[in-house]
Amino acid sequence: MTRRPASVTVRVPAKVNVQLAVGGPRTDGFHDLANVFLAVGLYDEVTVTPAEELRITVAGPDAGQVPADASNLAARAAVALAARHGLEPRVHIHIVKDIPVAGGMAGGSADAAGALVACDALWGTGASREELLAICAELGSDVPFSLVGGAALGRGRGELLEPLETGGTFHWVFAVADGGLSTPEVYRECDRLRGDAAVPEPEASPALLEALRTGDAVALAASLANDLQPAALSLRPSLAATLAAGAEAGALAALVSGSGPTTAFLAKDAESAHAVAVALAASGTCRTVRVTTGPAQGATLV
């Protein structure tokens, strides 16, 4: 008999969307995207241990904002894997949260990808990469990217991934806002603001892909784009002051991360990132400031 581990821990990164091109609403309620993901070095850690029944606990400063029940995407990941393999999801999932909650950095998706990889190792289910990616796609549009990490272009609703080459390390500062924003609400606001205007097919920008490939931060800054930004700003007008504070402090570019309300600042180098972070913290326009780099590795056994 194969010996099973007593517990398994997986580390999973946050993401920023360096381009988020959003098409018109589809009949299934989703939007077609050209979604250029970059994983960044803020991580949640997901530990799974055998238990009598499915149980979930969360630690970290914002743990209180995370549902610690079966509705948590990490619990749903364990249930989905168990169901496919004829198992009962008898597991305790413990999440140590460092990714901002409901912040547009795919924290919930990261926990789902982490729980999936961890349960697969704990139970010895030996799921193939394809099977894991298929389960991820069922769980949410951003979950497959949390599994693979690095940089990737997401088509469809963001789940159809094509890995992208990156030629260097990019320095980022993230300003975490008070409270979260609901992703469906931000998409709805995006549709509302667009009204009857024709929406072009979402396409990845060749200049942006080239900037990623060559590791050119100045060129990347010039092509960062987020179609959800007007909607996030409409729902949370105070984010404009945060974006302005980071830009004034010398960031190469400032944008809302995904559906927000976290804002992201690309810096020239580590020193400039530090200066932007200090200025943002002093500006009083955000709750917390984080400095990190991307790309970062996807879900990894610790």
Closest CA to 99 of 203, 4, 15: 15
Q: Beta strand pairing status for 151-155 and 160-163?
A: antiparallel
Residue 263 in tokens: 């804002």
- Quote the least distance from Cβ 117 to ligand C5P, whole Å: 19
Q: d(Cα 71, Cα 230) in Å, to the nearest integer? A: 30
Does 142 participate in binding ligand C5P (rule CB under 6 A)? Answer: yes
Among positions 107, 140, 150, 261, the unique one binding ligand C5P when judged by CB under 6 A: 140
Rounded to 5 degrees, what are φ and ψ at 41? Answer: -80, 45
Q: d(Cα 54, Cα 74) in Å, to the nearest integer? A: 11
Q: Which is nearer to ligand C5P, 107 or 246 (CB)?
A: 107
CB atoms within 10 A of CB 266: 26
**Residues labelled as active-site residues:** 15, 142
Which part of the chain contacts ligand C5P (CB under 6 A), choosing from 81-89, 121-129, 137-145, 225-233?
Answer: 137-145
- Quote the least distance from Cβ 279 to ligand C5P, whole Å: 32
Helices (H), the chain: 73-84, 107-123, 129-139, 143-148, 183-194, 206-214, 217-223, 229-235, 239-248, 270-283
- Quote the least distance from Cβ 52 to ligand C5P, whole Å: 30
Residue 104 in tokens: 């547009």
Does 50 participate in binding ligand C5P (rule CB under 6 A)? Answer: no
Q: d(Cα 113, Cα 140) in Å, to the nearest integer? A: 10
- Quote the least distance from Cβ 136 to ligand C5P, whole Å: 10
Q: d(Cα 253, Cα 293) in Å, to the nearest integer? A: 15
Does 33 participate in binding ligand C5P (rule CB under 6 A)? Answer: yes
Q: d(Cα 299, Cα 302) in Å, to the nearest integer? A: 9
Does 123 participate in binding ligand C5P (rule CB under 6 A)? Answer: no
Among positions 184, 218, 244, 270, the unique one binding ligand C5P when judged by CB under 6 A: 184
Q: d(Cα 198, Cα 165) in Å, to the nearest integer? A: 32
Among positions 157, 171, 236, 290, the unique one binding ligand C5P when judged by CB under 6 A: 157
- Quote the least distance from Cβ 82 to ligand C5P, whole Å: 20
Does 179 participate in binding ligand C5P (rule CB under 6 A)? Answer: no
Does 141 participate in binding ligand C5P (rule CB under 6 A)? Answer: yes
Does 31 participate in binding ligand C5P (rule CB under 6 A)? Answer: yes
Q: Residues in the site for ligand C5P, rule: CB under 6 A?
A: 29-31, 33, 140-142, 157-158, 183-184, 187
